[in-house]
Amino acid sequence: MNYEAQKKRNFIALLAAYFAANVIFIMSPAINVMATEMFPDKSYTAILLISTISSLCMIPGSLVAGSLLNKLGFKKLAVISLGGIAICGAACALTNSLGVIYVLRGIVGFCIGIGFPLQGTMSLQLFNDKERPKYLGWATVSLAAGSVFYMIVSGMLADHSARYCFWFHLIALVPLALILIFLKQPTAEEIAANNVEAPSQVPEHDKMPGYALFTAVMFALVFFAFYTVLLNMSSICAYEEIGGAAVAGALLSVYCIGNMCGGFLFNPLSTKAGKLVVPIGLMMWIAGTACIAFGHNVFFIVLGALLSGTAVQTVWPGTVNTYSEYVPKDKQSMAVAVFVSGMNIGCFLTTYFIQAVMNFTGSDSPRVPVQYGFVIVIIGGLIWAVIEAKRANRKN
């Protein structure tokens, strides 16, 4: 098979891997229904853990995948990741024990975590430096399309029964099949050829650059604060009488549509803005969070979700794309793993942040934690944007 034909097959596999990335969002529209239908005697924080415990368990999954990816290869990790998501996610529908659901959701999170370094490393190793922004952009569109699909279908299913959302995890078997059919593991020579423009002063076996760790910390901080929006959307809709789970799923899907817009815009934005693509994304993220935090109607929620979704999928691929410039090739998988792990730490801590804000303020409005989170988004976003802009200027 010639190079161009295999590249197209690898591209299909990349799209499939990214389509599965946000399968964790299946639970978001179902949180409020789950609290009232399945566990009415449990606290809201305990119900939120059904979602956020997966975020916590993504961290070891990402780190394990980052260390083992070069040894096991893409396909074996895809089987472990997507197969585990499908089996353990669906198994939650068969139990009434919250403790058992926690365990199964933890395994789901571990398996989702395995997938994140897989996706990022595939984009770095399967395509060369000039092609990568285009393919990353389309991969992000696939990620967003998957997210929209998960949100809308899950919201519709949750209006019938929260348990149907657990069965919906079997959808992960579809991208797994595509990866197994189309993906070809790249050789060391092909990986080297795809990174010919990486600076020669970054030798293999060197240490993980400190700036890669900085990007992980900052992404964790900003996403931690913003995640209050995604966790509390169904509660905001119920509290402010905007609508039920289906409406919450539809509003959350606007965020995913924003992700899709970010994917479409990433390549042209990278071409025109160059190294400033991440600071631009951070400014959009701040503006979008402000709209959701202080706009008390559907219009501003939709606008904020659209801006924030576009921003996240500008900052994320923009950061990963720069790893080819300063991260050694044998450390790229781990760099992506650490980056995603930081995000997942933030997602898990958001549950406790929400509860702490509500205890501190005495307010039962689910919008208040979003407003407090907005302050953190501003601080973290501005610090990261300024430092990244200075780094970009030095590169130029």
Q: Total domain count for the chain?
A: 1
Give the pLDDT score at 214: 92
Give the pLDDT score at 321: 81
φ, ψ of residue 242 to 5 degrees: the values are -80, -35
pTM over 0.75: no
Residue 327's nearest CA partner among 200, 209, 215, 201 is 209
Distance, in Å, from the CA atom of 128 to the CA atom of 260, rounded to the nearest integer, reads 23
Q: Domain range for residue 352?
A: 3-196+205-395
Q: At what angle do helices 44-72 and 332-361 cross, to 10 degrees?
A: 170
> Residue 310 — very low, low, confident or very high, per pLDDT cuts 50/70/90?
very high
Amino acid (one-letter) located at 11:
F
Residue 198, pLDDT > 80, answer: no
Distance, in Å, from the CA atom of 283 to the CA atom of 280, rounded to the nearest integer, reads 5
Amino acid (one-letter) located at 202:
V
pLDDT tens-digit series, residues 58-106: 888 888 887 777 778 888 889 999 999 999 999 999 998 989 999 999 9
Q: Which residues of 94-133 are buried (b: 16+ CB within 10 A; e: fewer)?
A: eeeebeebbbbbbbbbbbbbbbbbbbbbbbbbbbeeeebb
CATH number of the domain residue 323 falls in: 1.20.1250.20
Helix (H) or strand (E) holding 27: none
pLDDT tens-digit series, residues 348-370: 788 889 989 999 999 888 899 99
Average pLDDT (200-205) is: 51
Average pLDDT (136-145) is: 83
Instruction: Tell me the pLDDT of the chain averaged across its residues.
Output: 84
> Rg of the chain over CA atoms, in angstroms?
20
